[in-house]
Amino acid sequence: MGKYFGTDGFRGEANKDLTVQHSFKVGRYLGYYYGKKNPEGKAKVVIGKDTRRSSYMFEYALVAGLTASGADVYLMHVTPTPSVSYIVRTDGFDCGIMISASHNPYYDNGIKIINGMGYKLEAAVEEEIERYIDGEIPEIPLATKENIGCTVDYSMGRNRYMGYLMTIPTRSFKNMRVGLDCANGAAYQVAKAVFDALGAKTYVINNDPDGTNINTNCGSTHIEGLQKFVVEKGLDVGFAYDGDADRCLCVDDKGELVDGDKILYVCGRYMKERGELNKNTIVTTIMSNLGLYKALDKKGISYDKTAVGDKYVFESMMEHGYSIGGEQSGHIIFSKYATTGDGVLTSLKIMEVILERKCKLSECFKSLTIFPQLLVNVKVSSKDAVMNDPDVQALNQKIAEELGSDGRLLLRQSGTEPLIRVMVEAESDELCNKYVYQMVDLIKEKGYAI
């Protein structure tokens, strides 16, 4: 990770960690960089944003920087992150920018940069942007006269993305009662429209953004609201998205959570049966549940494990030609259709499994036993200091030996926040609690917690 850019872009509290000045400079550098690479000498950049109040502020700052460097900027307005990725690669843009802090609280924001192939920006270019922000690169020349860039309304890009999603399902959703939790975020103009067009009877909650209610007690980070809604309404299935709609978690007909691991299992098995699981492999991260691996072993399905972050999942998929991968948090990538996690697409693929098998979602997990898992986030003054502390390392080793092959402790740094994540999987909730809090208590005793 760089100074500003983490595993998912440049993210932080608006006007504290991420400022208008940062955004302006990001725009200045991207306009200059892609202008040099474009044969016509003028970059063509598309921007989307989520519903945070600060997204408008950062949008204008990015536009100012880009146009000052000579780039033409196309504005998709409020739209999911995967729609920006789709439009970049299908409409010939040099790069795309999504203004969002994903699942973070409304007061945070972020800048995600997507290259011309629809992938997350290369680390080397992120490093150059950081050097420019810190004044380590000479000042970039300003465009003048007719070379100054312009802005173009490109809301049609969001509509084209919606049309693309509607072509993917193999069956009508008629007579299906579906609940959607749009997290008061970027999916609010997309998800219901797509499900309605496919024939579903759609019931929506948290679809009224006001700039400060994105992810607030709703969406994929607060699934309990959708669980209650699905049960009360007697729905067949429910889908919850995060702020920028690149994640999806599900609720089955009984109101039970279906997380990313279960989605990978259900869709991976289905794809294998249809001959669509390339190289018989599903890509996971190190956070996936042990129960998933044991179930995949029984079904004869291989798996690859990457570091946490959908960018690492996608890199593995591209390198080896795999067709599905994702994270427990609900970032699921179907490489045939997208180059990034896509919450609405994931919900459409779950619908395909239910409809083709003529079954309820709750009936799809009979061979899957999820191990109890407990994750505690500890806010710390120095992530590196915690990870390198000899006492922390010794306790980590001790717990691993005691758990053996029937459990594990995973200690890792957050890629976007000042957090150490302590996660334990074991055969019982009691063991999870015991070992998680042994580690959390040690981190606090050593004075790292803030």
Catalytic residues: 102
Q: Quote the CA–CA distance of 139 and 275 in Å, as a whole number.
A: 54
Question: Which candidate, 140, 139, 125, places its Cα nearest to that of 4?
Answer: 125
- Does 50 count as an annotated binding residue? no
- Does 102 count as an annotated binding residue? yes
Contact status, residue 67 vs residue 81, Cβ threshold 8 Å: no
Run of H or E residues at 316 = helix 310-320
CB 33: neighbour CB atoms within 10 A? Answer: 20
For β-strands 281-285 and 257-258, DSSP reports them as unpaired
Residue 281: C-alpha distances to residues 94, 278, 315, 424 (Å): 32, 6, 14, 25
Contact status, residue 296 vs residue 274, Cβ threshold 8 Å: no
Amino acid at site 298? K
The two tokens of residue 171 are 């069956």
The 3-state DSSP class for residue 67 equals helix
Burial class of 219 by CB neighbour count within 10 A (0 to 12, 13 to 18, 19+): buried
Residue 304: C-alpha distances to residues 47, 103, 279, 297 (Å): 33, 25, 11, 12
Amino acid at site 310? D
What's the per-residue H, E or C state across 249-314?
A: EEECCCCCEECHHHHHHHHHHHHHHCCCCHHHEEEEECCCCHHHHHHHHHCCCEEEEECCCHHHHH
CB 269: neighbour CB atoms within 10 A? Answer: 20
Residue 296: C-alpha distances to residues 145, 264, 347 (Å): 61, 10, 22
Run of H or E residues at 437 = helix 429-445
Q: Quote the CA–CA distance of 232 and 292 in Å, as a whole number.
A: 30
CB 56: neighbour CB atoms within 10 A? Answer: 15
Task: Please give the annotated binding residues for Mg(2+), written as ranges.
Answer: 102, 242, 244, 246
Task: Please give the annotated binding residues, written as ranges.
Answer: 102, 242, 244, 246
